Amino acid sequence: MENYSAKSSNEIIELTNKVTTNYNSMPVVMSRGEGVWVYDVEGNKYLDCLAAYSAVNQGHCHPKVVAALKNQAEKLTLSSRAFHNDVMAFFLQKLCKYTGFTKALPMNSGAEGVETALKIARKWGYTVKKVPLDKAEIIVCDGNFHGRTTTVVSFSSEEQYKKLFGPLTPGFKSVPYGDANALKAAITPNTVGFLLEPIQGEGGVNVPPEGYLANVARICKDTGVLMLLDEIQTGFGRTGKKFCGDYDNTRGDILIMGKALSAGMYPISAVCCNASIMDVIKAGDHGSTYGGNPLASAVGIAALEVLEEENLPERSFELGKYFRGLLAEIKSDKIKEVRGKGLMIGIEIKKEFGKARPLCEELKRRGILCKETHEQVIRITPPLIIEEKELKWVAEQLKEVLA
């Protein structure tokens, strides 16, 4: 039996870099997490202000979700979809009630959720809208991030994500984010879907103009185009509502979810829509060995119950307002803009003052973990169970680091 006992952070980082190369991670090695706090292998304590890209909205190792995981793990973890299991139906029923849709299709990763939505939209286009075979178009937004699969990177605006991974998947066109008129002009008779994020997280916490999603929903309805809303990062309370689209009273025609659907406990994603759309998918059209497995289903039920019982969306709304107020008091020439909703905050640093990464590294030295995005933006997305006193401390540290 090999010895896997924890070594020093430096040793683990060195070993990691020898066996994998696809991430430029911050120099911290997490060993334990509880609530909003994580600890490295040396026992140093950090306030987690990334929350695994919003997967840990409920906090690290939430007792209720841990209990559900343990309980189900001792009974049945995987049945595959070749057979039924006694948990999935109740999970999907709860998810449908939470989202307001009638049908759900469970998968594992966020990117799988996006791929699922794209397949549903295309088949709907051919069977319901009667678009000529293999001519379906899907419109996306400049600056998007929907995952790393071959099809998804094919319509990315980030050159690195798709360079040398071709041939790229056709059938996509991109329009400026936040510009409803550009969307309207791009729609053709072959357009079957418009895929967008209500706030672009990886793109730099980009918030569209007020009313944009409502305009998009109206345009899609008027032109017979499905609105595919990617709420993988923004969903489940992150922006101060159940879903960010709720600010504009829309959840799209197809709602894509992941991350906090499992409270960070297990890979779970799902797509929800109504039967008139979902029913184009027939047995054998799509699937996953692990999608809807009983362990994931038990975890998903508990994760949703925590969101409801602890009023986390409402909490995120109030705490986000409080935190943005603290940030507004920071007077620094380095700050270009602070933007976001709820507890999804981006602090953009002016280019003449350098990039955001060194500031994130300094915050790490002060006991706060966050991550830069698009080089200039410090992203602040803590677990939604954070307290005002902890947010105040984060603001104080930011003020000193930006001084």
Confidence grade of residue 6 (pLDDT, cut at 50, 70, 90): low
Q: Are residues 72 and 180 in the same domain?
A: yes
Is 230 marked active-site? Answer: yes
What is the percentage of the chain residues whose pLDDT exceeds 70? 99
What b/e readout covers 210-233, taking b as 16+ CB neighbours within 10 angstroms? eebbebbbebbeeeebbbbbbbbb
Cis peptide before 208 (omega within 30 of 0): no
Kindly report the pTM of this predicted structure: 0.97
Catalytic residue selected from 91, 145, 172, 317: 145
Q: Which of 91, 123, 172, 230 is catalytic?
A: 230
Do 277 and 335 reside in the same domain of the chain? no
Residue 4 domain-assigned?
A: no
The pLDDT, as a whole number, for residue 168 is 95
Q: Residue range 111-118: average pLDDT?
A: 98
Query: Which residue in the list 123, 241, 242, 259 is annotated as catalytic?
Result: 259
Q: Does any domain span residue 1?
A: no
What pLDDT was estimated at residue 3? Answer: 67
> Any idea what the CATH number is for the domain that residue 138 is in?
3.40.640.10
Same domain, 226 and 198: yes
Residue 34 belongs to domain with CATH number: 3.90.1150.10
Q: Of 245, 224, 214, give the one whose Cα is nearest residue 101.
A: 245
Angle at 394 between CA 346 and CA 340, to 5 degrees: 20
- Give a yes or no: residue 298 inside a domain: yes
Same domain (yes/no): 259, 150:
yes
pLDDT band at 2 (very low <50, low <70, confident <90, very high): low
151/224 same-domain check: yes
C-alpha 333/C-alpha 133 separation (Å) is 55
Q: Is residue 237 part of a domain?
A: yes
Residue 172 falls in the annotated catalytic set: no
Please identify, among 284, 309, 334, the residue that sits at the C-terminal boundary of a domain.
309
18 is catalytic: no
Region 353-374: mean pLDDT is 97
Instruction: Say how far apart CA 362 and CA 125 lie, in whole Å.
Output: 50
263 plus 350 within the same structural domain? no
Note whether 181 and 89 are same-domain residues: yes
Average pLDDT over residues 249-269: 98
Looking at residue 255, its pLDDT comes to 99
Last residue of a domain, one of 293, 309, 325: 309
Is the same domain home to 96 and 176? Answer: yes
Domain stop point among 257, 284, 309: 309
Query: In terms of residue numbers, what domain contains 201?
Result: 63-309
- Dihedral angle of Cα 265, 269, 272, 276, to the nearest 10 degrees: -150
Q: pLDDT grade, residue 7 (50/70/90)?
A: confident
Indicate if 145 and 271 belong to the same structural domain. Answer: yes
Residues 220 and 130 in one domain: yes
13 with 102, same domain: the answer is no
96 and 30, same structural domain?
A: no
Closest C-alpha to 261, from 294, 231, 229: 231
